[in-house]
């Protein structure tokens, strides 16, 4: 999340007691890792599969979705169930195809053999938007590398995450593995406790609050943080407008727009603006009047912060709270047409709601410049989408924009974090590169949870002549 949202107030704690509790968890994690250390690849994969089943089980997927929506007030149950199962299934598919025990790569030509080793105890900071799916996702990746993990959940999602961790531990116990491979901070989770965890573990992986991301990078512990979302999407002049509109709708409304990959704005090329808008209306979009846009803005933000009482709500509740007419209550999402970008134009930022900002651009080049300006304001490095039948336009975005992912003719929420129809790794944590102050520029995956030992043997000499390396330089500039 990039927008400030107030979490419930937390009671003060005795720091010495908190530190002792954190240290005890880390110690227990190390003991569990020692017991797990001799596991072969098949045994590691059994553990990962057990963790996946803990949330993929239909009863658990439903229960955890219901608990999450009840406690956080974010999203909706049917989509949370899909998120709990689809992301888990896709991640399990990815992990079962990889080797993380012993030799994982051998290059005889270079005389290199690579051995995977655990990184240690992992501190997993998880958000209120995905209090079940994200902890399991990170635990699967961590245990795949032979690590233990300690989850630090969002306070508002604690009940869901605690139950999720209980289910993971029960599945580990069922197959005869140490339950302490997966643990959770005790309640109430405070900023001080999370900070101490970051300092005590061997690797910190943060999804959610950008304050936590910055805290992880300044903790002194190796850290992976991911950037804030604010996805802009282009509808090009030659796009299939109905296909684009249906995909944008499906993606925007999924879990009531809680995903960091949810479309936050659509920039439409001028030549097709009204045709594209008509398609978006056919797909379920409500085109707000200028007066209604003002009402939506004043309801969605209070004192410069997103209003917790309206974000991630169902469309009829959103329409009612914003004072929109009866016709709007049957819409699926709400289109607010705007022009500016920046702090004075809040619709240009992440909204975590069913409000979708619409912009008009003179042509493709103007649209391209516009989406970069949006990312420069908020969502740096994250991702951008385009609906087009001109492949060169998609390549142009990839070549020139400061962004990690460019999705072409896809429903962004369902493609950005991995899909069965594209080659991205399944994940709930999207790295955004140095543009967002992140250490990775790809989807978080198992590779980030292993160290690699290189066995190096001699090969035949691979030393070119001076002429081969400097010849072109000498010929052009002299010696």
Domain ranges of the chain: 15-226+444-454, 231-413
Q: Report how far residue 112's alpha carbon sits from residue 122's, in angstroms, rounded to the nearest whole number.
A: 28
Strand-pairing partners, residue 306, are 301
Go through 448-457 and write b for each residue having 16 or more CB atoms within 10 A of its CB, e for each that does not.
Answer: bbbeeeeeee
- Identify the burial level of 57 via C-beta atoms within 10 angstroms of its C-beta, where 0-12 means exposed, 13-18 middle and 19 or more buried: middle
Q: For 134, how many CA atoms within 13 A lie in the half-sphere containing its CB?
A: 30
Q: For 363, how many CA atoms within 13 A lie in the half-sphere containing its CB?
A: 2
Handedness of CA 440, 228, 428, 54 (dihedral sign): positive
pLDDT per residue, tens digit, the chain (479 aa), is: 444 444 444 445 688 999 999 999 999 999 999 999 999 999 999 999 999 999 999 999 999 999 999 999 999 999 999 999 999 999 999 999 999 999 999 999 999 999 999 999 999 999 999 999 999 999 999 999 999 999 999 999 999 999 999 999 999 999 999 999 999 999 999 999 999 999 999 999 999 889 999 999 999 999 999 999 999 999 999 999 999 999 999 999 999 999 999 999 999 999 999 999 999 999 999 999 999 999 999 999 999 999 999 999 999 999 999 999 999 999 999 999 999 999 999 999 999 999 999 999 999 999 999 999 999 999 999 999 999 999 999 999 999 999 999 999 999 999 999 999 999 999 999 999 999 999 999 999 999 999 999 999 999 999 999 999 999 999 999 99
DSSP 157-202: GHHHHHHHHHHHHHHHHHTT--GGGEEEPPSSP-HHHHHHHHHHSS
Q: In which region does residue 256 sit, left (phi positive, over 0), alpha (psi from -120 to 50) or beta (all else)?
A: left
Residue 414 near residue 251 (C-beta atoms within 8 A): yes
Strands 121-125 and 203-206: parallel
Please give the C-alpha separations between residue 466 and each of 110, 475, 477, in angstroms, as whole numbers.
Answer: 22, 13, 15
Query: 260, 293, 322, 432: which is the annotated catalytic residue?
Result: 260
Residue 233 near residue 387 (C-beta atoms within 8 A): yes
Please give the C-alpha separations between residue 226 and each of 201, 352, 396, 431, in angstroms, as whole numbers.
Answer: 18, 17, 25, 5
- C-alpha closest to that of 9 among 196, 185, 189: 189
**Cis link prior to 341 (omega < 30° from 0)?**
no
Residue with tokens 């970008």: 341
- C-alpha closest to that of 207 among 260, 161, 148: 260
Q: Report the side by side order of strands in the sheet with 333-337.
A: 285-287, 333-337, 355-361, 263-269, 231-235, 381-387, 403-408
| Secondary structure of residue 455 in the 3-state scheme | strand
pTM metric for this prediction: 0.94
At 420, phi and psi to the nearest 5? -80, -5
260 catalytic residue (yes or no) = yes
CATH architecture group of domain 231-413:
3-Layer(aba) Sandwich (3.40)
Class of domain 15-226+444-454: alpha beta
Strands 102-107 and 112-118: antiparallel
Q: Which helix (H) or strand (E) holds 297?
A: helix 290-300
Q: What is the dihedral of CA 435, 439, 441, 442, to 10 degrees?
A: -150
Provide the 10 A C-beta neighbour count for residue 463.
7
Q: Report how far residue 290's alpha carbon sits from residue 339's, in angstroms, rounded to the nearest whole number.
A: 12
Residues, the chain: 479
Q: DSSP label at 320?
A: H
At 408, phi and psi to the nearest 5? -110, 120
DSSP 368-429: HHHHHHHHHHSSTEEEEEEE-S-HHHHHHHHHHSSEEEEEESS-HHHHHT--TTSSSPP-S-
Residue 25 near residue 150 (C-beta atoms within 8 A): yes
Residue 264 near residue 333 (C-beta atoms within 8 A): no
Task: Give the per-residue pLDDT at 312.
Answer: 96
């Amino acid at each position: 999340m990039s927008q400030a949202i107030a979490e419930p107030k937390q009671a003060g704690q005795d720091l010495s007691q908190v530190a002792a509790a954190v240290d005890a968890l880390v110690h227990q994690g190390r003991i569990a890792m020692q017991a797990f250390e001799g596991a072969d690849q098949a045994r590691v994969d059994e553990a990962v599969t057990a963790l996946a089943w803990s949330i993929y089980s239909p009863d658990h997927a439903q229960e955890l979705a219901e608990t999450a929506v009840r406690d956080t007030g974010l999203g909706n149950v049917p989509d949370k169930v899909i998120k709990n199962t689809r992301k888990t299934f896709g991640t399990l598919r990815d992990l079962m195809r990889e080797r993380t025990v012993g030799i994982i790569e051998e290059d005889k030509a270079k005389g290199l053999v690579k051995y995977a080793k655990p990184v240690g105890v992992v501190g997993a900071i998880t958000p209120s938007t995905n209090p079940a799916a994200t902890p399991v996702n990170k635990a699967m990746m961590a245990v795949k590398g032979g690590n233990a993990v300690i989850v630090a959940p969002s306070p508002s999602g604690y009940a869901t995450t605690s139950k999720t961790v209980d289910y993971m531990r029960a599945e580990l116990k069922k197959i005869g593995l140490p339950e302490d491979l997966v643990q959770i901070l005790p309640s109430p989770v405070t900023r001080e406790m999370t900070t101490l965890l970051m300092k005590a573990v061997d690797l910190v992986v943060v999804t959610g609050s950008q304050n936590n991301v910055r805290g992880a990078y300044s903790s002194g512990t190796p850290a992976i943080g991911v950037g804030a979302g604010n996805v802009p999407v282009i509808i090009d002049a030659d796009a299939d407008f109905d296909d684009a509109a249906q995909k944008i709708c499906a993606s925007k409304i999924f879990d009531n727009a809680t995903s960091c990959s949810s479309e936050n704005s659509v920039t439409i090329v001028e030549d097709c603006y009204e045709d594209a808008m008509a398609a978006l209306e056919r797909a379920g979009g409500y085109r707000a009047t200028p007066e209604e846009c003002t009402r939506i803005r004043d309801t969605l933000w209070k004192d410069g912060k997103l209003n917790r009482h309206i974000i991630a709500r169902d469309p009829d509740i959103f329409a009612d709270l914003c004072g929109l007419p009866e016709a709007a209550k049957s819409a699926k999402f709400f289109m607010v047409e705007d022009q500016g970008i920046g702090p004075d134009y809040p619709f240009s930022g992440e909204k975590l709601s069913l409000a979708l900002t619409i912009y008009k651009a003179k042509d493709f080049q103007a649209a391209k410049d516009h989406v970069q300006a949006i990312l420069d304001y908020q969502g740096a490095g994250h991702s951008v989408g385009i609906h087009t039948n001109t492949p060169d336009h998609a390549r142009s975005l990839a070549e020139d924009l400061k962004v990690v992912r460019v999705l072409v003719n896809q429903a962004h929420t369902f493609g950005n974090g991995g899909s069965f129809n594209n080659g991205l790794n399944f994940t709930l944590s999207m790295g955004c590169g140095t543009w967002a102050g992140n250490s990775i520029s790809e989807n978080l995956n198992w590779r980030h949870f292993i160290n690699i030992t290189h066995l190096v043997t001699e090969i035949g000499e691979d030393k070119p002549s001076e002429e081969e390396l400097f010849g072109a330089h000498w010929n052009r500039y002299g010696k």
